[in-house]
Amino acid sequence: MSVWVREVAGWALVLLGLIFFGEACLFVINKRLFSAGPFLFAGFVIFRGGLHLVKVATAARACRDVETPAPLRQVLRVARPKTFNPGTPRGGVVPGPNGPARDE
């Protein structure tokens, strides 16, 4: 499905959800509260579905415009420092018999 078809369908569903909310408001104004409930629920579901479609279309458009990343081997080779060995302790942090000396 094309990005633009998703976005147009999403905005159409958002508009349809707002129309359902308007109908529910008219039912409440005319004191038909039980008739307003299903319209309110349907409007909420349709509105949220439209927002989701717009969000997915925007994310798809953003992902399409991103450049292809460098291969993972090059990224790991650059990111790993060569002087750090995780198997050796670095030294004490807290002053004590094995930690660094403090001037008193």
Please report which confidence band the pLDDT of residue 99 belongs to, taking 50, 70 and 90 as the band edges: low
The answer to whether position 73 is within a domain reads no
Give the model confidence (pLDDT) of 31-86 as tens digits: 988 989 999 999 999 999 999 999 999 988 888 777 656 565 555 555 555 565 66
The answer to whether position 11 is within a domain reads yes
The answer to whether position 86 is within a domain reads no
Whose tokens are 């307003």? That residue is 36
The answer to whether position 57 is within a domain reads yes
Count of domains in the chain? Answer: 1
pTM of the model: 0.60
Other Cβ atoms less than 10 A from the Cβ of 19: the count is: 14
Range of the domain at 42: 3-66
The answer to whether position 29 is within a domain reads yes
